[in-house]
Structure 1
Amino acid sequence: MYAKKNQMIIIMVIAIAFILSIKLYEVNNVNSQMNDQINTYNKELVKSKAELRQTIDKRDYYKSDEYIEKVAREQENLVKKNDIIFVTDN
């Protein structure tokens, strides 16, 4: 009787250990997938931050006096006071 009882306990322990090992494998698999997804999101975040930095730099340049003067001179043909203008026959 004790032998059968011990045998049943051993079988139950083995079954529980087997089920737990399967669940542990599933959890590790999900954890690995989540880590991969986190890494992907982190790479996208770094890329987005770089793009944002470039956009901010462009905005700052377009708002700068240097750019405004460049556009005024090149596209609008404006000159500063005391600039010497050369006119050619073309």
Structure 2
Amino acid sequence: MTPPTHIDGARVLAWAWSDVPFGHVAADTGEAAIAIHGLALCRYAGESRVYRFSCDAHWTCQQDAIHDSLLEARKQLPGQYRAVPASWHTVA
């Protein structure tokens, strides 16, 4: 599933999607863990850093991490999101 052009106000630069979750993140409410189906590398206007957003099945960000570059963001994918290999798509 293709992501929106922006997630949480940041422009999507690259993304990966899997029907089988990449992994799960604990819910803040103590409910069942949230499946992560989308990974998006994004940048806010005026910033040089790249954010890796871990998203649910609706491209809602559930967790993020900040990186210095796109390459670093791809390489430093946490172990919890490696249940399925990420196939990255670059946004033109």
- TM-score class, shorter: under 0.3
TM-score by length of 2: 0.18
Q: Say which structure, 1 or 2, has more relative contact order (CA 8 Å, 6+ apart).
A: 2
Larger helix proportion, structure 1 or 2?
1
